[in-house]
Structure 1
Amino acid sequence: MDVYRTPADSLDTLVVGSLQPPADFTALARRALGDLAAALRERRGRPDAAAPRWRVLKVAKGGSSGRGTALRGGSDCELVIFLDCFKSYEDQGAHRTEVIEDMRALLKSWWQNPGPGLSLELPEQDTPGVLRFRLASTDPENWMDVSMVPAFDALGQLKSNIKAKAQAYSTLLDSGCQGGEHAACFTELRRNFMNTRPAKLKNLILLVKHWYRQVRGLAPGT
């Protein structure tokens, strides 16, 4: 498509028709992730009979898919799982690895078939504290990289029109963590910020992403 020759009043149509991921793939991926979130809450398919060591408090979606800024040709989603076993930022750092191992076993057990029209790929895991997998469509141009991140519920029940308590930030500063180490705890703030912006802002972000991809000669999904 030639963005430069598209009239200004036709850009929104171009974004929906050519830049956003196809609606059918988005719906399939959203349904699959919803099923996964429900399974995590219910802990179906646990590989052993031991009492649960953790319980899901809530699930938040971030990444470009969660914020409505995903570009066609490969998107990303951060699925943040807030758990009751993390009582502090320090707890998250100390116990995240074993929780990831639990989730990996459950993911393999639950998702032999993630749903019609989708397949699940589990790549080499190279990021500590994150469980990565890919939801792939039958169309090789449509896929979503998902990062499952267990996190400390630092914000509690957060509403879109209410600011987080200052204590969440002061406790973070006092924890002595590295920069960005607990960014997932604040996923809801970033998502709520984008979701309250006008649709034209998201369209502008997609246009800039598309332009950058063209200028740099990047493949879709990069």
Structure 2
Amino acid sequence: MGSLKSYSCEQCGNDFVSHTALRYHFRAKHLGKVHCEKCGREVLKERLRDHEEANHERTSQQVNHERTSAEKQWCFWDMLQKREEKFVAMEMSTSCRMCPRQFGTIHSREHHEKQEHHFTARRRAQMATGFSSDNIVDYKNPTELERFIEEKLRPIPGPASIACATEIEAIINLIKECFPLPVARLIKGGSYVKGTDTQDWSDIDVVLFSKAFENLEDCKKKLPEVIDDLGKRLKKSSWSSRIMMAKRTQLSLRFRFKCHRNHHIHSFDIMPCYDMLGPTPSTAGIKQSFYRKLYLCNDTDEIQMYSMCLLQYQVEFIKTSTMRVKDLIRLVKHWFRTSFAKPTAQNKFRRLPSSYAVELITIFIWQLAGKPVCFSLVQGMRAILKFLVRYTEMCIVWHKHYSPNCMIFKKVIQKETRPVVLDPTNPTFNMCKNSNAWDEVAHVARRSLLKPLFNGVQAKEPWLFTNGW
């Protein structure tokens, strides 16, 4: 008996038993939708203009004004670091690196890249690798690496750091005062709060919960007006000369703030939200119910808002790490910033792993080593790079906030494909979906291991487990 022929939807990867069924599916699910040329997101054709105005469109007059203002005030506003567009990335791993097309599976996406864009291994190597002059992998010994961290990466302690912290608290209090609704609760996140920021850059997330939002739907409805009102009030404040507004997103207000005393730059992301979880869930059942609602949610904006409620737990997970681990996190982030070729017009839709994913992978490797208090940063870096080379085997989970018996966790882990780094506070989200370029990460990691910093380096206690890699 012959096997049934299947018809696959090129748009989402689903299979159907007949061409008629496929055509019906395409008309119902995809007809009328187009891809935004600037971000690749699929939107309804009639809402494309609204999407562009909210997320991308700026007049030439605005662009020129922003450029002139930046040049007059601080020429170093244009930093290399770039915030993620969303609090949680949505299926980024299945989007093409060279065009806005999205697919149902990673396999169909990779097949498309090879067939349509001739994305061969050689071309991947050319488009991925770009070691800059200040890359750490060209150092000759561990002493140079330690000196680099102390002089260039780790925030400088002392009076300047205290002054910086004072101004950060002042600007957060200003945000709270300017917020147009009564604030019931405020939580902070980002590299500055977690202690993984560097000397010249930090990001700060501020989530403001208000009881004025009756429910999630009411919050979504009021958000645009609330965000715009907050932005206007901040521009009229006495701190306006040190606040440079950035492109706002659907759910947040963004700006950069320059500390007056030590010229440190902080990238702020202000996110109003309806408090769905509360400050301290009284029972495990409340959190399980929250995860169930998140798992069943199909609205991308609502998923973002659910995830904001988990920010405090994400911060605690990273913040409790030792200072040595945070130095290792800074090194790995610096490696990402200085080892990859900058995106071009050909691969402008390439997305590397998020900074949060990098933090989680680093902590996982440290835990595999037995959580040593003192350790060689070269050994730690080498272990992480060797792990990235084996990304197809990556499966990282923690069970502090959800147990192995949690039904949502079981469902998610059964359907996820490698690599997997499950958010320790959110069993519904695989952090690896932030990226569609894990093969490029593995290639650059492999090249980095051949550099002078790791030349002749052998695994030592407690990193002997890497010998099997």
Instruction: Report TM bin, short chain.
Output: 0.7 to 0.9
| Alignment match, 1:86 | 213
Change (3 A) 1:121 1:87: same
Q: Which amino acid aligns with 2:310?
A: F
Partner residue, 1:193: 317
Q: Which residue of 2 aligns with 1:211?
A: 335
Q: Which has the higher contact order (CA 8 A, sep 6+)?
A: 1
Equivalent-residue separation in structure 1 for 2:276 and 2:313 (angstroms): 11
Q: Which has the higher strand share?
A: 1
Alignment of 1:36-51 (within 5 A): 36-41=171-176, 43=177
Superposed displacement of residue 134, structure 1: 0.8
Q: Which amino acid aligns with 1:33?
A: I
SS in 2 for 1:5: coil
* Bigger-Rg structure (1/2): 2
Which amino acid is the alignment partner of residue 300 of structure 2? Answer: Q
CA contact (8 A) 1:29 1:135 kept: no
Residue in structure 1 matching 2:242, options 107, 119, 122: 119
Aligned to 1:49: none
Matched, 1:101 2:224: no
Which of 64, 73, 90 is residue 191 of structure 2 equivalent to? 64
Are 1:15 and 2:149 counterparts? yes
Q: How much has 1:207 moved relative to structure 2?
A: 0.7
* SS of residue matched to 2:184: strand
After superposing the two structures, state which structure 1 stretch, 141-150 or 85-94, moved more. Answer: 85-94
What's the offset of the Cα at 1:28?
Answer: 4.1
| Normalised TM-score (structure 2) | 0.38
Distance 2:280 2:222 in 1: 24
Residue 25 (structure 1) shift: 5.7
Tell which deviates more after alignment, 182-191 or 131-140: 131-140
Which structure 1 residue ranges, 5 or more long, are not aligned? 47-51
Alignment CA distance shift 1:102-1:79 (3 Å): same
- AA aligned opposite 1:60: I
1:105–1:217 CA distance, 2 compared to 1 (3 A): same
From 137, 140, 147, the counterpart of 1:5: 140
Kindly provide the amino acid, as one letter, of the partner of residue 195 in structure 2. G
Q: 1:158 to 1:31 in 2, by over 3 A?
A: farther
CA contact (8 A) 2:135 2:335 kept: no
Moved more, 172-181 or 145-154: 172-181
Distance in 1 (CA, whole Å) between partners of 2:194 and 2:322 is 12
Q: Distance in 1 between matches of 2:339 and 2:258?
A: 27
Q: Percent identity?
A: 24
Name which of structure 1's ranges 54-63 and 150-159 shifts more when overlaid on structure 2.
Answer: 150-159
Q: Which amino acid aligns with 2:291?
A: Y
Cα pair 1:89 1:172 within 8 Å, conserved: no
Q: CA deviation at 1:131?
A: 0.8
The answer on whether the counterparts of 1:67 and 1:191 sit within 8 Å (CA) in structure 2 is: yes
TM-score (norm 1): 0.73
Which residue, out of 55, 64, 68, partners 2:182? 55
Check conservation: 1:96, 1:129, Cα contact below 8 A: yes
Counting matched residue pairs gives 203
Unmatched runs of 5 consecutive residues or more in structure 2: 1-133, 343-469
When residues 59 and 216 of structure 1 are mapped into structure 2, their CA distance, relative to the original with a 3 A threshold, is same
Query: What root-mean-square deviation, in Å, do the aligned CA atoms of Structure 1 and Structure 2 show?
Result: 3.5
Q: Which residue of 1 aligns with 2:165?
A: 30
Per-residue deviation, 1:193: 0.6
